[in-house]
Amino acid sequence: MAIDDDLELFHRWAGGDVAAGQTLVLRYYDPVYFFFVSKLADHIAVELTQDTFETVCKKAASLQIHASFASYLFGIARWKLVAHFRGQGRQGFDPLSESFPDPAPEASITAMLDRRHGESTLVQALRQLPLDDQILIEMRIYEALRLREIAEILGVTKERVAARLAVAKRRLLRAAEGLAAGNETVTTLSSYMKGVRAELARKFEEVGHGRER
């Protein structure tokens, strides 16, 4: 996802260039929204997406970005997500070891897509993993971020990310086997999730959904 001029745009934004900030928001609104909506009901995903960008906007002048704008942005999104779960009666929620309940069936991505994707069991397997395992897999395979970018999101070393990613993939395949999706692979998950994102983008574009909210 990293784009060469992200940091240039960010520094201009921090210096008061509103148009540069708007360009970054338009560039990253959909990825951040999909990060949330794959785990939460749509209206909550919208709220947390807007909250994420508001936080970046307020702190633009003082932010220290070490890997990329994308990694800093998703790092904020991760903490918004963790805070959301802790605010829902799960104060001790630990993203390293805990997953979270699925959203109401009528609000899930599968329902939104009219259940046309046969690979949904693999996504169910992904959602059984601890939150940070899910984020590791999504950021590396789905968003194609580099290890050092993911390290910034999670606040760990690049070497630690590599080790945890290998463990997360093994956990995913074991969970898939338990859901009778053992013939699926992480590559299948990547293809499926990219298809979901593209279809949601088309679906929401038709009804004025997404970044225009």
**pLDDT tens digits, 131-140:** 999 999 889 8
Structural domain includes residue 211: no
**pLDDT tens digits, 15-30:** 888 898 899 999 999 8
Residue 159 has pLDDT above 50, yes or no: yes
Structural domain includes residue 81: yes
Q: How many domains does the chain have?
A: 1
Structural domain includes residue 29: yes
Give 176's pLDDT tier (boundaries 50, 70, 90).
confident
Structural domain includes residue 1: no
Give the pLDDT score at 32. 93
Structural domain includes residue 34: yes
Q: What does pLDDT average to over the chain?
A: 79
HEC per residue, the chain: CCCCCHHHHHHHHHCCCHHHHHHHHHHHHHHHHHHHHCCCCHHHHHHHHHHHHHHHHHHCCCCCCCCCHHHHHHHHHHHHHHHHHHCCCCCCCCCCCCCCCCCCHHHCHHHHCCCCCCCHHHHHHHHCCCHHHHHHHHHHHHCCCCHHHHHHHHCCCHHHHHHHHHHHHHHHHHHHHHCCCCCCCHHHHHHHHHHHHHHHHHHHHHCCCCCCC
Structural domain includes residue 104: yes
Q: Which domain holds residue 198?
A: 6-206
Structural domain includes residue 147: yes
